Chain A
Amino acid sequence: MSEPLLCIQNISKRFPGVKALDDVSFDVHPGDVHVLMGENGAGKSTLMKILSGAYQPDEGSLTLAGEDVSFRDPIQARDHGIGMIYQELTVLPNLSVGRNIMLGQEPMTALWQVNWRKLYADAQAVLDELDLALDVRAPLQILNIAERQMVEIARSVQQRPRLMIMDEPTSALGKHEEEVLFALIDRLKARGVSIIYISHRMDEVFRLADTITVLRDGQHMATRPAGEFSRESLIELMVGRNVDVGRHDGVSQETGEARVTTYNLSVTNTLHDISFDLHAGEVLGVAGLVGAGQTQLAEVLFGLRQADAGTLSLDGNPINLPSPQAAISAGIAYVPEDRKDLGLVLMMSVQNNLTLAGLEQHTKAGLLNLRALKTSAQTWVKRLGIRTASLGQQVDSLSGGNQQKVVLAKWLSLQPRVLILNEPTRGIDVGAKVDVHKLIRDIAASGVAVLMISSELPEVLSVSDRIMVMWQGHVTGILHAESASEEQVLALAFGEQEQAA
């Protein structure tokens, strides 16, 4: 084996409350495509941010071509020959292709002016080298996403990197565009550039990888040549932890009639032929990797986004939801994934947040019935055990768990028939989590149809009656929670078809 280009040695990184990386070590060899895999939260992004200088490790060291390095910021990492392609594009739409490629590296004339002729010639040279047929003078905004990504890569290549990090670069690309990217990767490889490639797509992993490294819960599980892995062994390594999740106890819900039914619900480029039933009295968990379309589905069901095709029915009747108001009047409630940004008006009081969605029913001739609002808030604070000094307390000052209860109470006070939860326990502590899980079960038991989106597998498995798994905007399977295993769910989340079930 050749000398490694990059040695990652005993890297650890802590964040408040979590150990994101725990003593991770592996090597990356020159000209290798090194795929990094792991579940949501396994530590991939943290590791990449350390390699690109955005984070500094708490412990451990990096050796690049035999030389010890540490990066204070991304610019230092770049100067050492590490290029980074993020999931979100960082090219500037108002500048030309050439200026984007040469950004920050503009050639100057003796008079401190940009040497435009040389700039465009240099940019053209990079495009030629990568065999990309783009006009260097074209403004970036006329290009499509894939072409913009090519420009992004060209910009990185222009800096002559020895190592390129690509974080899910195909997430925005179509099939044909993927092939263009893969060809580009082959050319970079041939020039001896190493590539660390993060991906969730099994097919492309096996198409590209020379070496695969698996991370799980911040720990390094394995680094081996790609040929030594199978799909099954990869998934097992990613899940690994002893799956012994306490299932929700009590009788399995004898669920009622189908309250929400979707048939081939589609949104261009986002959701594809989503069909499922959501029954009264059940918790239907929605699992999948981040960005598999879960939030978009919730938004369609709550009137925030319009479906391009397919039907949505409530109690068997087709229904059209042009706005959240329409969804709310139909009895649908939505607890969004980001409490602080979407769920609460932070500078308002507990009472005013709690009653915000139900103002209409407490209004007479335009005026609010303040006493009724207060009574309602009091009732729900008590019922959910929300810990607050007073109803007038600014909601900002509550703990995460209590804030989430305020959001839940806001909707429960409307007595919804359908409750959509998006990451209901994100960022709240363990004790509050248990409370919220119990609350969700109680809500379902009272006859509400609950759709619960969660990226935490144990949560999905323990709280749901059934589990719907999504992958790239498709439903890849619907499992009974009692009999489902973590491996099965994960296999579906990685796009394996239902045979796994």
Chain B
Amino acid sequence: MTVSNLNPSLASRAKQLVSTSGVLIGIVALFIFFSLASPFFFDPNNFLIIGRQTVLLMVAAFAMTFLILLGDIDLSIGAVTSLIGILVAMSLRDGVPLPIAILIALTSGGLIGLMNGLISVKGRVHSFIVTLGMASIARGVAITVTNNIAISVTNPTFLRLFAQAEPLGISIAVWYVAVLFILLHTLLTRSRFGREIYAVGGNAKAARLSGIPADVIKLRAFTLAGVVVGIGALLQTARIGTGFVEGARNLELDAIAAVVLGGTSFTGGRGALWRTVLGALLIGILNNGLTLLNVLSYYQLIIKGGIVILAVLLDRWTH
């Protein structure tokens, strides 16, 4: 494991470069490629579109980052985001005041996250299985309460507050996500809770022996991730103007892809939130560029999947 500092081989230097800035290299490469390949890509308006398209993914990926840092995962993010969107749409339709509807979104997200965490921690079941089950439950509930019919949101304040407003010409969703990033990034890097997340994710046994209550840390992280998912659901519902069963289909997969592409270790303990921002940007640019090049969406899926697998292999190789 010792890296010789005196005369690093080419391979180890390459590894260093990929591990610290692989995702940046990827973004720059895609940026140059799409700028040359499509006349519509290099355009400030297109950049704003990419930003708007990417922020929803970023919110989900932030939640996912906290869990992946712990060596956990949440496969229910897509289904839960859709379900919370439906709850919000129904509440507003039935005349529930806006602040209460927002509160419903955040608490239901937090409660579902806490439930995932409790089952996983107390039942000693890996979150992969727990959240896979929760995804199915959330989807089932969503279909039951809506009869699979989309519910439109017409409350103008809600739409303006979470989607349509553009302070300084930039979508309000981007502002929310920027603030959320600063808060969560501070939490991870500057707070005791953040440090404990890294410790538990890196070696739960050693963390416990250092007096860190690993189970409590996990429960808190699951709950926090759930609240973040609730925020994502508000932005998502306002953007598409409806709550429906397929509202955020497969969002968890893109979120996992963003985290992993950013270079956060899938086994926990190593990674950062800014990496997730870059990973999500990479996916956003890829989606946008391929669409501008008129690549069919199935091919987009194949390309995206290939890139994610490549990123994991690179992570293996560099560590």
- List chain A positions with a Cβ less than 8 A from chain B: 302, 304, 323-325, 327-328, 334, 336, 341-348, 352, 356-357, 359-360, 363, 366-368, 370, 389, 396-397, 410
Contact = CB atoms under 8 A, between A and B. Distances in A.
Nearest to A363: B192
B211 A348 contact: no
A415 B1 CA distance: 33
Contact of B202 (A336, A345, A410): A345
B269 interface: yes
A121 to B, nearest CB: 40
A360 B198 CA distance: 16
A221 B2 CA distance: 41
B208 interface: yes
A397 B12 CA distance: 15
18 contacts: A302-B209, A323-B213, A324-B211, A325-B211, A336-B209, A342-B206, A346-B202, A347-B270, A348-B199, A348-B202, A356-B195, A356-B212, A359-B196, A368-B190, A368-B191, A368-B192, A389-B5, A397-B2
Contacts of B203: 341, 344-346
Given A345-B199, A345-B269, A366 B206 contact: no
Nearest to B204: A345
Contacts of B198: 345, 348, 352
Nearest to B200: A345
Interface centre among A327, A342, A344, A348 (most CB of B within 10 A): A348
Interface residues of B, number: 27
A315 B205 CA distance: 29
B6 to A, nearest CB: 12
Contacts of B270: 347
B3 A397 contact: yes
A367 B195 contact: no
Nearest to B193: A366
A343 to B, nearest CB: 6
B306 to A, nearest CB: 28
A360 B193 CA distance: 10
B199 A324 contact: no
Contacts of A348: 198-199, 202, 269
Contacts, number: 75
B202 A357 contact: no
B210 A357 contact: yes
B207 interface: yes
Interface centre among A343, A344, A345, A359 (most CB of B within 10 A): A345
B206 A328 contact: no
Given A324-B208, A336-B209, A342-B209, A366 B191 contact: yes
Interface of B: 1-3, 5, 186, 190-193, 195-196, 198-199, 202-203, 205-213, 265, 269-270
A359 B202 contact: no
Given A325-B211, A397-B2, 6 more contacts: A324-B208, A345-B198, A356-B210, A356-B212, A357-B210, A359-B192
Contacts of B3: 397
A352 B195 contact: yes
Contact of A397 (B1, B192, B205, B209): B1
Contacts of B195: 352, 356, 359, 368
Interface centre among A302, A347, A357 (most CB of B within 10 A): A347
B190 A370 contact: yes
B211 to A, nearest CB: 4
A397 B3 CA distance: 8
Contacts of A366: 191-193
B193 to A, nearest CB: 7
A242 B2 CA distance: 39
Nearest to B3: A397
A323 B208 CA distance: 9
Contacts of A352: 195, 198-199
Contact of B210 (A368, A370, A397, A410): A410
Contacts of A367: 186, 190-192
Given A368-B191, A397-B2, A345 B207 contact: yes
Interface centre among B190, B191, B210 (most CB of A within 10 A): B210
A356 B269 CA distance: 14
B190 A396 contact: no
Contacts of B186: 367
A328 B202 contact: no
Contacts of A336: 209
